[in-house]
Structures are given as structure tokens and as C-alpha cells.
Amino acid sequence: MKVLVLYDYPPSPAGLATQGHLLHRGLQELGVEVHSAHFESAQEKEWYYRWFEPDVVVGVGYWGHTPYLVLHPQRYGVQPIPWLVADGYMGNYHEVLDALPLILVTSRWVKKVYMRDGLSGDNIEVLPVGCDTDAFIPRDKNDPKILAVREALGVAPDQIMILTVGGDATSKGAQEVMQALAINDLKAPDWKYVCKVWPQPRTEQQNLIDLQLASQLGIDKNVVYTTNVISRNFMPYLLASCDIYAAPSRLEGFGMIQVEAGACGKPVIGIKAMGMLDTMVHGQNAFLAGIAQEIRLKEATMGDESGYEEGHRVVFKRPRTVDYRASVHDIANYLMDLMQDADMRKKMGEAGRKRAIELFDYRVVAKKFVDLVSQRLGIT
């Protein structure tokens, strides 16, 4: 089997790039002939089509990337296999995608979203995102590298460190976590809440809104926002430095960082919805807060990025859920349980580590990919 993987290559620290990079790495370790290219690089992709002659081209993205991931390889007679995440509402390319022999998605929830929006689902298989369980491992709290992370963040050795990581913190449920921490504040052990966000213009204003909320709640002295650029080399140490990973996300098609936190032996606070139903087991490796609110839209405006003219308006027959909010009171209760019980944190972290190794290790994911391609397309 010869495979060309298309993603944001060379890999940035972002989730989709990591997803593609770990598949490449897993296939390579299995002995599969594999190369990678940037999904938008028409010239480089064509170069690989001509000399490498891949059996399949796996493209990581969402349905709006169909021109890059599907139509381009088809133009050169190469079989595309898109590996898709959800992005709110699927507004185009239904016929193209339904005609493919195989589409991969990151969770059962993502499959449901695509079927909700018009795909038959007959050609859709779930392939989870891989995790490097050799890098994301439990580490001793007295490891100098862990102590250095906490010291740099202003977290004392005896404080409970709660961590949220994302492009922005709000979409990962940080506002709900802060409200929960405010409820617990006076009766909880000493704590710090660290939000690691990616430095970009769209998050600057959101960070200010989040910090204003922390001030209004009276917990601003215990909330740390850090916006430094970091590499994937640093992420295992950042996650291993926390005591609880809290990300009851408003929208989550898989939850890669939640899985990585579990691989580091950390208990997770999530939401009982979306991709986390595949990755987290309530009461074992995570506590999943109930859904307090569903944000629904009656219409959407799309443009060139979706294959439409600018300002194209789509009115739904029924309102579509595009966002969730986790129960603040559930989060508060689960946080208090974990903050007060070190043994519980340890036990749930061990369960998270075991689950990550068995189901989401990048080599396990690569083997499942090979099996799916063999079963669906007859390519070995």
C-alpha cells in the first residue's frame, strides 16, 4: 500500500496537523510506503501523483476542504480518502462526498453531523485521532521539568493546578469552568486555573472578556492566561504539570488534548456530548458534565470557503445545534470531588492512560486505517 497524506505540512502544533503527522508516523512504522504534502500545494501534490503513484490520498480537514482533498486527486486519477472533522453545518459537496467509497471521520458524533446534513453515511467509518503515548506519559511532580513549568506559570507546588488548552479558552468551556471555580472557591483547596491559548488576533478580545469575567467572579488572582507560542515538544510537560485537565468544550469533534491529558495520567472534566462520548468514560477516566444549553441556529451565511458565492444564505427546515454549554453546577461538583481527593485523581488518571494506549495510540490508529482501506477498497 502506498499512501500520500495531505494536511498542514510541515506540521504546525495545531490539531489537524498533528492528526495527519501521527498517521504518517504510524503508517511508516508499520512498513507502509508513505509521504506527506501540504493539502493546498497543488504543484507538490501533482509531483507525488506522478512519481510516487499512491494507491490512496488521505486528506485531513473538513468538508469545505473538498476541492483540495478530493477533487484535486480525482483530477489525476488518484483515489481520495478524506479524514474529516465537523465544522457546524455541511453546506456543499454532498454528491461528491457520497460518491466516494470511503470517508473517515474522527468520532461517531461527527458521522451523525454529516448524516444530519445530508450524507447517507454508508461510506463513513470512524477513525479516531492518534496520540503519541510515548511522549504523553505520567511524570513525577518533582521532575525538574514539571517544577519549571509550574514555576513559570506562577503555580505553587502545593496548589491544585487546573488546566485548559485551546486555540481560545472560551470554546473549550473556560467560562463555565471559571463559574464553577467561583462556586467552589471558599471551600476548595488552594488552586490556580491556567488557560493556555494560541496567540492570534481573534483570541485577544476573547481573552479580555474571559479575564473580565474572572474579575467579576472575584477569582482573577487565581486565573492565569498564557498566550505564548509553544511546540508539540512542550505539550507533554504542560499537561503533565496539571492536576486536573478541564475542557467541557462547547464544540468538540474528538478531543485530542483530553486524550493526551489522559495519556499523561490526568483526570478530565468534559461534557456529556459530541466526540467526548467516544474518548471519555464518565466515572472512569473523566467526569462528563450534563448539557445545560444547546445553541441552535435557524439559518447560516456561507461564502467562497464553502463553494458558494459570498453571502449565500441557507435556511434550515429545523434549527441546527451548533454549540453546547456544560452544566456549571455539574462542573463545580466534579471539580470539588477531584480537588479534594488525590487518590481519585490518581485512579482516574491511570484509567485514562490505559484507555489512551489501547484505543488511541497512533500505531493502533494507523493499523485500523490499513484494515479499513483493505476492507473497503481491497488495497493491501
Q: Residue 201: its pLDDT value, please?
A: 81
Mean pLDDT of 327-341: 98
**In a shared domain, residues 13 and 99:** yes
**Cell (9 digits) for 72:** 484535486
Same domain, 245 and 232: yes
CATH label of the domain that carries residue 9: 3.40.50.2000
Q: pLDDT value at position 182? A: 98
Q: What's the whole-number mean pLDDT along residues 279-289?
A: 98
**Same domain? 286 vs 215:** yes
Residue 14's pLDDT is what? Answer: 87
Upper half-sphere CA count for residue 361 (Cβ side, 13 Å) = 13
pLDDT given at position 180:
98
CB 45 within 8 A of CB 73: yes
End-to-end C-alpha distance for the chain, whole angstroms: 5
* 183 φ, ψ (degrees, to nearest 5): -65, -40
Residue 344 and residue 338 in contact, taking contact as beta carbons nearer than 8 Å: yes
55 three-class SS: coil
Asked if residue 366 and residue 344 are part of one domain, the reply reads no
**What whole-number percentage of the chain has pLDDT above 70?**
99
For 144-176, the pLDDT digits (tens) are 999 999 999 999 999 999 999 998 999 999 999
- Please tell me whether residues 266 and 183 are part of one structural domain: yes
| Position 114 pLDDT exceeds 90 | yes
Q: Does one domain contain both 332 and 342?
A: yes
364-368 — which CB contacts under 8 Å span 24+ positions? Answer: 364/130, 365/22, 365/23, 365/26, 365/127, 365/128, 365/129, 365/130, 366/23, 366/25, 366/26, 366/27, 366/29, 366/30, 366/32, 366/130, 367/26, 367/30, 368/127
Selection from 170, 182, 240, 173 nearest residue 207 by Cα:
170
Domain tally, the chain? 2
Q: What is the tens place of the pLDDT at every residue in 231-281?
A: 889 999 999 999 999 999 999 999 999 999 999 999 999 999 999 999 999
As beta bridge partners, residue 82 has 59
Q: In this model, does residue 312 exceed pLDDT 90?
A: no
List of E strands, the chain: 2-7, 33-38, 56-61, 79-84, 103-105, 124-126, 160-166, 191-197, 223-226, 244-246, 268-271, 286-289, 291-302, 312-326
Q: Taking residues 295-319, what's their average pLDDT?
A: 81
CB–CB of 5/23 below 8 Å? yes
The predicted structure's pLDDT at residue 289:
98
Q: Which of 266, 249, 278, 290 is nearest to 344 (CA)?
A: 266
**Which tens digits make up the pLDDT trace of 50-91?**
999 999 999 999 999 999 999 999 999 999 999 999 877 788
> Residue 336: is its pLDDT beyond 80?
yes
Name residue 294's beta-bridge partners: 324
Domain that holds residue 96: 2-130+361-377
- Asked if residue 137 is part of any domain, the answer here is no
Residues 78 and 92 in one domain: yes
Q: Looking at the DSSP assignment, which residues form a beta bridge with residue 297?
A: 320
| Co-location of 152 and 259 in the same domain | yes
What global pTM score does this model have?
Answer: 0.94
Return the closest-CA partner of residue 103 out of 90, 114, 91, 89. Answer: 114
- Please name which of 126, 69, 37, 20 lies closest in space to residue 362, comparing C-alpha atoms: 20
The whole-number pLDDT of residue 205 equals: 84
Residue 3: pLDDT over 90: yes
Q: Is the pLDDT of residue 318 over 90?
A: no
Residue 59 counted as domain residue: yes
DSSP structural state of residue 68: I
Examine the domain organization and report whether 120 and 148 are in the same domain. Answer: no
Tens digit of each residue's pLDDT (9 = 90 or more) over 178-206: 999 999 999 999 999 999 998 878 778 88
371 pLDDT more than 90 = yes
Q: What is the pLDDT of residue 20?
A: 98
Each residue's pLDDT tens digit, 128-140: 999 999 999 999 9
Do 229 and 331 have their domain in common?
yes
Residue 35 has pLDDT above 90, yes or no: yes
332, part of any domain: yes
Residue 202: the pLDDT is: 75
